[in-house]
Structure 1
Amino acid sequence: MSRRGTGDGAESADHAGSGDWARYWRDPDRPLEAMHAHFERHVFHPHSHDAYSFAVTESGAQRFTCRGAGHTSAAGMVMAFNPDDPHDGESASEPGFTYRIMHIGPDVVREVLDDVTDGRGAMPLFDRPVVDDPVLARALRRLHPALVGAADPLVREERLSAAVEAMVRRNARRGAGPSGPRELPVGAQTRAARRARDLLTVSWDQPLTAQDLAAAAGCSRFALYRAFRAEYGMAPSDFQRLLRLRRARALLTAGHGAAEAATAAGFADQAHFHRWFVRCFGITPGTFRRAAAAAGPPAAP
């Protein structure tokens, strides 16, 4: 087994042979764990977790027993276990199965739900251990890399909230309360979004959290997220990344290399910077830098 640290947790890799492998991550501060694994021969003995466990099957199929009945999760399906739900598990197909599973402590789920509904909801319970829900599957696939990678705090919190809300509102028997999520009036929504934007603009290079923005905006994290998207058409984390990309473009124009620009603009590494530069601008940082150099310095006003 090998272990390596990430920006916000520790990840270990276990290669058991026979095609089986697993990579595991644990948050050092909160009850959050995640695993990405492929199992062909491994058989899980009946066990349970003291957390909610959400898993999305990527390939193959896993069969398991839970609450006295047999179930199968095929590619694209989601498994949902309540805290202390006993279950086992093994491959249901010859090539094995690959899945991503996240264990989210009840306190974390409660924190997300309280932020959405102002404490009006009961803790969720999931009757179906397997659900076929593409929206939820996508939310979990987006959450997993945000947890195990060195993602910005804003990205992690937004994706965690999205996954928990999708799980509860779409699949829980008892969820976040009948009144629905809290919304701000239009005028208050605009003011909250602008306050958050102002903080992001002056602190673009700082590791701001969702709570930092909510405090500046004077509302809950969830209300701020909704308000910001309504006002600016993107999540706060997307706007933060855009500010960093703009800073990197200025550095590239001034002749700095891509690696230097990535670090100075606040990106975790050059690969992360390169990927987002291409996604947003359609060209690589190197192509942009060469074009800027060929054009020469901007003319004086």
Structure 2
Amino acid sequence: MSGNQDWALRAPQSMKVERMEAFFCGYGFEPHRHDTYAIGRTLAGVHSFHYRNSMRHSLPGGTIVLHPDELHDGEAGTDDGFRYRILYIEPALLQQALGGKPLPFIPEGISRDSRLYEASQTLMQGMECPIDPLEEEDAIYDLAQALAVVAGTRRGRKALDYMAAERAREYIHSALDSTITLEELEQASGRDRWSLSRDFRALYGTSPYRYLTMRRLDHVRALIVTGQTLTEASLIAGFSDQSHMTHHFTRTYGITPARWLRMLHRQ
């Protein structure tokens, strides 16, 4: 790997949690948002990013915790660049441990709490280190509990119907290549559409439509890594055309699909 070129390395995709290690020597990502938690650790240098109207600076020893659907970017805080590891973990995985509670929220986007650092150790191993399925399940549970403890309990929310929201989420997965309406989600979940939309956001960190779009983008990434063209992948994943997909990809990841692929090929 070149020391003066951006690169990214992904862990094997058999895992439930997407893991990545990357280096950026300058500007990394345009402002973007995704529907997963982004939990990271700076290994070297200074990782600077805008988050909730402030500039944050991550140094080695802390834990980055970006909440789903929060706008952020990323760049090197010094001329030396920065290297970091990052986990992208779906809120649905954490909900299996949280049992339908509102998602934990770390307002500053960076935590120096040792409990969170320790709980993320297993999932923050090097990309070459295999993680057994049961070990991963344990690590997800430990991470969910640490996030809840460090974030504290948020009060004042109405009761959430976790099972109805989960039925809606499962319906979305069954119809990724179709046009889905809120009426269909209402029928599938047994919950009125506006209560369902509220609960879905609280439990999974984003709206039903954004969740659907993200799952389609996951499919696109898997396809283009195996050699499918952007046009082919867009249509297979349920987008109307390549332009439509590229627009959503860039808004979600802060880089174009072509740049994302180039970075992976530099590993």
SS at match of 1:135: helix
**1:43 CA displacement:** 2.4
The Cα of 1:73 is off from its aligned counterpart by 0.8
* Bigger RCO of structures 1 and 2 (CA < 8 A, at least 6 apart): 2
| 1:146/1:155 contact within 8 Å kept | no
Q: Which residue is equivalent to 1:142?
A: 122
Bigger radius of gyration among the two: 1
Corresponding residue SS for 1:154: helix
Q: What's the CA shift string for 1:242-262, capped at 9, x where partnerless?
A: xxxxxxxxxxxxxxxxxxxxx
Specify the alignment match of 2:10 in structure 1. 24
- CA RMSD across the alignment: 2.7
Deviations 1:97-150 (A, max 9, x none): 121110111111111212xxxx5x322222121111233223223223388743
Mapping for residues 252-263 of structure 1, pairs under 5 Å: none
- In structure 1, C-alpha distance between the alignment counterparts of 2:4 and 2:126, rounded to whole Å: 29
Secondary structure, counterpart of 2:75 in structure 1: strand
How big is each residue's C-alpha offset from its partner over 1:171-197, in whole Å with a ceiling of 9 and x where there is no partner? 35539xxxxxxxxxxxxxxxxxxxxxx
Does the aligned pair in 1 maintain the 2:94–2:144 contact within 8 Å?
Answer: yes
Aligned to 1:128: 108
Tell me the secondary structure at the aligned position of residue 97 of structure 2: helix
Answer yes or no: is 1:47 the counterpart of 2:32: yes
Q: Which residue of 1 aligns with 2:86?
A: 101
Closer/same/farther in 2, CA of residues 43 and 122 from structure 1, 3 Å limit? closer
| Structure 1 gaps, min length 5 | 1-14, 176-301
- For residue 93 of structure 2, give the secondary structure of its aligned residue in structure 1: helix
* Alpha-carbon contact 1:22-1:36 (below 8 Å) kept: yes
> Is the Cα contact below 8 Å between 1:41 and 1:96 reproduced in 2?
yes
**1:61-87 CA-partner distances (Å, limit 9, x unpaired):** 111111111111111111111111110
Q: 1:88 is matched by which residue type in structure 2?
A: D
Q: Please give the alpha-carbon distance, in whole angstroms, between the structure 2 residues aligned to 1:86 and 1:144.
A: 23
The code of the aligned residue for 1:78 comes to T
Alignment of 1:120-269 (within 5 A): 121-145=101-125, 149-172=129-152, 174=154
Q: Offset of 1:16 from its aligned partner? A: 7.1
- 2:217 corresponds to: none
Decide whether the 8 Å contact of 1:50 with 1:84 is kept in 2.
yes
User: Aligned pair in 2 of structure 1 residues 148, 106: CA closer, same or farther (>3 Å)?
Assistant: farther
Give 5+ residue unaligned stretches, structure 2.
156-267
Among 73, 77, 80, the residue aligned to 2:65: 80
What fraction of aligned residue pairs are identical, expressed as a percent? Answer: 30
- The answer to whether the Cα contact below 8 Å between 1:20 and 1:42 also exists between their aligned partners in 2 is no
2:97 is the counterpart of 1:112:
yes
* Residues in 2 aligned to 1:135 and 1:16: alpha-carbon distance in whole angstroms: 34
Who is 1:219 aligned against? none
**TM-score scaled by length of structure 2:** 0.52
The one-letter code of the counterpart of 1:70 is M
* C-alpha distance in structure 2 between counterparts of 1:128 and 1:163, whole Å: 18
- Structure 2 residue 49 is the aligned partner of structure 1 residue 64: yes
Conserved 8 A contact 2:11-2:20: yes
Aligned residues between the structures: 156
Give the Cα separation in 1 of the matches to 2:47 and 2:141.
Answer: 27
Q: How does 1:256-295 map to 2 (within 5 A)?
A: none
Contact 2:51 2:109 survives alignment (8 Å): yes
SS in 2 for 1:56: strand
Give the letter aligned to residue 23 of structure 1: L
